[in-house]
Copies of this chain bind each other. A is one copy, B any other.
């Protein structure tokens, strides 16, 4: 039995325990976790059906049949549907084979496009649908040694990309050009990006998800790089904040120090048995104490692995207790509209004693280049 088959068995045990008839996984990382294969079906349904008992089945567009047959989990049952027929007939017939009834509960991939879910609900009125994310997370959140090694490789690579790109910053360069340098530096290392690199100069850094544009780098600008890459299918994700020349904003160093304190407070709080929300609270308390609570616009972090964002989320309301092998980002931030932002992010892996960072620690004071 290979690792994928073992994962499918563990999922099936959970389905039986929760009295869920069937899990329907989309092209997402859930499918990749269970089968080693995943392809984006876009408007075409491409799904992995895992019944509580019995063999899993791929339902795929015919143009993906050959690729699906190569799935590393050696799932042999592949039902291919033709564009001209649609997937509905094959789906209905599979559910009948699996003895799924209209009063049953299905586990649905969080990322399945809604159009497919609405069509399934129309075919099976009365069916109860639950999001798959949390249940799958209970299988995925503790990383094995092999998974940790891949994550460490991705983490070390993105650290070196950051060092290289920061070392080459020059006045007048655009955010887009730096974004491209990040992509090139990842490519040279043979690693795909984990997400579109975020590069923010000056006031753009006050928007946590600013889309990099034609803004040119000027002396005195605060710079935020939020970048990540993938190794062996696993993600890295870091954020560096620095100043290009002496910071123009008089509060830059102070705000950096507050975020750094919050970063360390979260890292120190995290250890097995502590809840995700306690880690968030530790970071948030530091920032609130200094009067910037309202400018910390987001949760303290997110789980990471095959997906760049996955449970557990480090956020108020999440009582999940940390266990050795959990990996998550620690990334408190402060955002001052029209001025600048500071965010300091590394990936922490929970150990028996506390956490280790897979990345280089943030500098102990604002880096000026």
A10 contacts the other chain (CB 8 A): no
Q: Which of B63, B210, B317 contacts A298 (CB 8 A)?
A: B63
**Complex A-B: 18 CB contacts under 8 Å:** A39-B209, A39-B211, A43-B110, A62-B297, A63-B208, A63-B297, A64-B208, A66-B206, A66-B337, A67-B207, A67-B210, A83-B298, A83-B299, A84-B316, A86-B317, A108-B115, A112-B114, A119-B131
User: Smallest CB–CB gap between A272 and chain B, Å?
Assistant: 23
With a cutoff of 8 Å between Cβ atoms, the chain B residues found around residue A187 in the complex are 180
Q: Smallest CB–CB gap between A145 and chain B, Å?
A: 27
Q: A65-B297, A67-B209 are in contact. List 10 more A-B contacts (CB 8 A).
A: A61-B298, A64-B207, A66-B207, A66-B337, A83-B316, A84-B280, A84-B299, A84-B317, A111-B114, A114-B117
A309 within 8 A of B: yes
Q: Are B110 and A114 in contact (CB under 8 A)?
A: yes
- Tell me the A205-258 residues at the B interface (CB within 8 Å): 206-211
List the B residue with the shortest CB-CB distance to A317: B84
Give the residue of B64, B129, B280 whose beta carbon is less than 8 angstroms from that of A209.
Answer: B64
Q: Map CB proximity to B onto A75-94 as digits: 1 under 8 Å, 0 otherwise.
A: 00000001110100000000
A contact residues vs B (CB 8 Å cutoff): 26, 39, 42-43, 61-67, 82-84, 86, 108-119, 121, 129-131, 133, 180, 187, 206-211, 280, 297-299, 309, 313, 315-317, 335, 337
Q: For A63, A64, A111, A119, which residue has the most chain B Cβ atoms within 10 angstroms?
A: A63
Q: Which residues of B contact A309 (CB under 8 A)?
A: 42-43
Contacts of A108 in B (CB 8 A): 114-115, 118
Q: Are A113 and B115 CB-contacts (below 8 A) given A42-B309, A180-B187, A299-B83? A: no
The CA of A154 and the CA of B251, in the complex, are separated in Å by 45
